[in-house]
């Protein structure tokens, strides 16, 4: 019996977990369940596709210079675990998804461990925004790049790395089956109650730094609007931490973990208060106007201010060339500022409609409407393997 193709997928964060799950599904659809097997590191979505991670990826969901230094011993221990998995399972290809800090080290370590193993990076470092030298570093570490942003390819072409633009899976998210009435029924709301979505991030450091400020903002809003329903869709990587914090809030909030209800919530949301990240693209697809906040370590922020070229951090704002969704970063991230920005939108339906329309236009500039990115990534990987492993 022919040995199935063994694909190792490594995702260290919630967004990468979703990409890995999508790629696994697309590969199974093309090759057949019995012709491909998966091993690797991931979260709940990859686990649903049969990929059992040797550890909880929340241990690797790290952002910030000082945080990375503190977490270095733990990350290196998980790196050894991942190398041991590769040594034991003997994959035919390794696909390293996003998470630059962990996966670039893993790429070099895998190359030393097995020089013949084809290595693929899925999601490029944002060299168009800062640190363009990473393009050359990645070109030395892997054999193929699957890119999700159209601005990536020229940088990596110049570095000599074979790259394929597959599109952004966040842009392909389908909200056609989302039912806002189902969400309202599930949490006991009337059809007219305004809904504030609170999305505090998917990393432990984001929950630590961003969520307390979001709580302060929501408290101010609830004091003036007792009928405001607060819904907190929780990423699987931080769900327990989110639930523990929300349990201590002095007002009621509904934590949502079910994936279908999360989609319902995004469509039902009147306004969203969101941590910067992939979720901002999803909110725009759902038609929900948002206010964006973020805070990282002071040292990390100071360095990023020197290196980061775009004026905004939210992709839809970068695409639009203006702050379609207002951003409150670092010291500007206060409960008072967030509450004021959200309140203006809660009280002004015309402003909400205009912002939702501008968000939608930004999505078109980002490449909405392309073929399914997971399928494009699967096709690119299969074509690459056909060249790398000729019959």
Domains 5-167+371-388 and 180-366 alike in fold: yes
pLDDT at 91: 97
Percent of the chain with pLDDT over 90: 70
Residue 67 above 70 pLDDT? no
pLDDT at 339: 98
Residue 61 above 70 pLDDT? no
pLDDT at 24: 97
Of 312 and 27, the one with more pLDDT: 27
Q: Compute the distance between CA of residue 289 and CA of residue 274 in angstroms, rounded to an integer.
A: 10
Burial class (CB in 10 A: 0-12, 13-18, 19+), 69: exposed
Q: Compute the distance between CA of residue 387 and CA of residue 391 in angstroms, rounded to an integer.
A: 9
The domain limits of the chain are 5-167+371-388, 180-366
Q: Compute the distance between CA of residue 40 and CA of residue 54 in angstroms, rounded to an integer.
A: 8
Q: Which CATH class is domain 180-366?
A: alpha beta
Burial class (CB in 10 A: 0-12, 13-18, 19+), 47: middle
Which H or E run contains 274?
strand 271-275
Q: How many CB atoms lie within 10 A of CB 138?
A: 23
Q: Compute the distance between CA of residue 298 and CA of residue 385 in angstroms, rounded to an integer.
A: 43
Q: Compute the distance between CA of residue 71 and CA of residue 341 in angstroms, rounded to an integer.
A: 35
Residue 371 pLDDT grade (very low, low, confident, very high; cuts 50, 70, 90): confident
Residues 78-104 have pLDDT tens digits of 999 999 999 999 999 999 998 888 999
- The dihedrals phi and psi of 95, each to the nearest 5 degrees, come to -110, 115
Q: How many CB atoms lie within 10 A of CB 252?
A: 10
SS3 293: strand
pLDDT at 131: 78
Residue 75 tokens read as 């990350």
Strand partners of residue 354: none
Of 391 and 21, the one with more pLDDT: 21
Residue 253 pLDDT grade (very low, low, confident, very high; cuts 50, 70, 90): very high
Architecture of domain 5-167+371-388: 3-Layer(aba) Sandwich (3.40)
Residues 306-346 have pLDDT tens digits of 555 667 889 899 889 899 999 999 889 999 999 999 999 99
């Amino acid at each position: 019996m022919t040995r199935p193709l063994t694909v190792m997928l490594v995702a260290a964060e919630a967004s990468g977990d979703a990409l890995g799950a999508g790629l696994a599904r697309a590969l199974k659809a093309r090759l057949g369940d019995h012709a491909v097997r998966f091993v690797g590191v991931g979260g709940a979505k990859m686990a649903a596709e049969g990929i059992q991670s040797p550890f909880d990826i929340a241990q690797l969901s790290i952002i910030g210079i000082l945080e990375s230094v503190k977490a270095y011993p733990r990350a290196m221990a998980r790196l050894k675990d991942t190398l041991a998995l590769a040594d034991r399972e003997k994959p035919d290809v390794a696909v390293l998804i996003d998470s630059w800090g962990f996966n670039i080290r893993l790429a070099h370590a895998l190359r030393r461990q097995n020089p013949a193993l084809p290595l693929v990076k899925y999601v490029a470092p944002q060299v168009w925004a800062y640190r363009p030298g990473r393009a050359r570093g990645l070109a030395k570490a892997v054999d193929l790049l699957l890119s999700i942003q159209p601005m990536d390819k020229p940088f990596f072409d110049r570095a000599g790395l074979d790259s394929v633009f597959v599109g952004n899976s966040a842009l392909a998210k389908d909200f056609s089956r989302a039912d806002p009435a189902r969400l309202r029924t599930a949490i006991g709301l009337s059809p007219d109650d305004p809904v504030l979505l609170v999305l505090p991030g998917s990393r432990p450091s984001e929950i630590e730094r961003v969520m307390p400020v979001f709580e302060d903002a929501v408290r101010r809003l609830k004091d003036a609007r007792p009928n405001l329903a607060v819904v907190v869709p929780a990423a699987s990587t931080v769900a327990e931490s989110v639930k523990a914090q929300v349990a201590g809030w002095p007002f009621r909030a509904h934590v949502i973990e079910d994936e279908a209800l999360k989609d319902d919530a995004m469509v039902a949301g009147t306004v969203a208060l969101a941590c910067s990240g992939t979720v901002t693209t999803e909110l725009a697809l759902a038609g929900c106007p948002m206010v964006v906040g973020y805070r990282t370590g002071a040292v990390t922020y100071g360095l990023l201010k020197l290196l980061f070229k775009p004026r905004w951090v939210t992709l839809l704002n970068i695409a639009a060339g203006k702050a379609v969704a207002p951003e409150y970063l670092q010291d500007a991230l206060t409960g008072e500022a967030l509450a004021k920005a959200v309140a203006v939108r809660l009280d002004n339906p015309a402003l909400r409609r205009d912002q939702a329309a501008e968000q939608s236009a930004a999505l078109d500039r980002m490449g909405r409407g392309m073929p399914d990115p997971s399928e494009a990534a699967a096709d690119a990987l299969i074509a690459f393997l056909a060249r790398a492993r000729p019959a």
